Structure 1
């Protein structure tokens, strides 16, 4: 996977993460289906980890 593909994937993951955040808020306010909310939160955490990995790869550490 080259840098352009990684950047595109990173943006897609960020969009999905934001969408899940909105879905969790809406579901929490309108229903008592805590199992579904928990599943969405777990998915959101997995996305956050993937985002962090891609960001670490794309943005190298600079020792000053």
Structure 2
């Protein structure tokens, strides 16, 4: 089943996860929902979001719509 909504949703989720990964790796910015100092870099969160990015990219590749054949 090739669902275009799932394809585009996976792309949006991948971009959002990538933005959050970069956000959590930059020190000096307030990072909510952390137990360590909120202005420190959080590599664990960044790695988790990078992994989520990879999963979403794979999901987008698996669910990509078929191209029209001539």
Q: TM-score, normalised by structure 2?
A: 0.50
Following TM superposition, by how much is the alpha carbon of 1:11 offset from its aligned partner in structure 2, in angstroms?
0.6
CA distance in 2, matches of 1:9, 1:39: 22
The structure whose Rg is larger is 2
Alpha-carbon RMSD: 2.9
Q: TM-score, normalised by structure 1?
A: 0.53
Change (3 A) 1:13 1:40: same
Following TM superposition, by how much is the alpha carbon of 1:15 offset from its aligned partner in structure 2, in angstroms?
1.4
Change (3 A) 1:52 1:5: closer
Q: Match for residue 19 of structure 2?
A: 18
CA distance in 1, matches of 2:15, 2:27: 19
User: Which runs of no fewer than 5 residues in structure 2 stay unpaired?
Assistant: 30-38
Aligned residues: 55
